Amino acid sequence: MTKRFSGFMAIFAFFVTCVSGLVTDLGMEKVLLRGLAAMVVFFFIGLLVGAIANKILLDSLFGEEVPIEEKETEEEEPDAGKAEAARVK
């Protein structure tokens, strides 16, 4: 998802920069150089934003991770309850 988002942002930035340069009647060389510069800059911005979006999405879908210590204590508690029930009988 991160790489896909950064690729979309880079291509969109290149397109917008090239169209705006052609509308203002700049030379083809300046338009392409500015478009390539915008493409590189927005690729890295897209990587950052995509990584943040991916983390937010995973956190909202799966919730927070439970630390390992809490998992072990949760597993031990049901076994302890069975042992006490066996002693009572």
Tokens matching residue 69: 């210590």
pLDDT of residue 84 exceeding 70, the answer is: no
Spatial separation of the C-alpha atoms in residues 58 and 6, rounded to whole Å: 18
pLDDT of residue 60: 82
**Model confidence over 19-78: pLDDT tens digits?**
999 999 889 999 999 999 999 999 999 999 998 988 888 888 887 654 556 555 555 555
Polymer length of the chain: 89
Domain of 60 in residue numbering reads as: 2-88
What is the number of domains present in the chain?
1
